[in-house]
Copies of this chain bind each other. A is one copy, B any other.
Amino acid sequence: MHPAMADVRPEAILHALSDPVRAAIFARILRTGCVEACSAVSALGDRVIPKSSLSSHFKVLREAGLIRSERHGVEMRNHSRWDEVQARFPGLLPAIINAYAAESGTEAGTATGP
């Protein structure tokens, strides 16, 4: 379910984050520290994303090694594997997050941590 960090491939990370919806989900996980899948729906701007799509987006992020998901009662807690990814591919995640932030004019300073 969760790949070992040694098995994580850069192309999987790039592919996962090349989708704006997934990038937004990941950014949100970084900001809030922890997000359950369903509540992310309404919060992702105007677009309504069906549950099944959301579920597969989380799956892609999980299998790319970007997040870790664990059940907590009836809901799912997703948190980023920032430190692990950072150790394996230094600077990759900050650069990507900053690129998205620069694009959307979301003047968010320089990303350096989760």
**Chain B residue contacts of A89, Cβ below 8 A:** 95, 98-99, 102
Q: How far, in Å, is A1 (CB) from chain B's closest CB?
A: 22
A23 lies within 8 A of chain B by Cβ: yes
Contact among B11, B23, B103 for A19, CB-based, below 8 A: B11
How many chain A residues sit at the interface, stated as a range, is 20 to 34
A99 touches B18 (CB 8 A): no
Instruction: Tell me the complex Cα distance, A20–B10, Å.
Output: 9
Q: Are B20 and A18 in contact (CB under 8 A)?
A: no
Given A15-B18, A18-B15, A18-B18, A10:B90 Cβ within 8 A: no
The 9 A-B pairs at the shortest CB distance, nearest first, are namely A14-B18, A10-B99, A15-B18, A95-B95, A89-B99, A91-B95, A92-B95, A14-B14, A92-B99
A residues sitting closer than 8 Å to B (CB atoms) are 9-11, 13-15, 17-20, 23, 88-92, 94-96, 98-100, 102-103
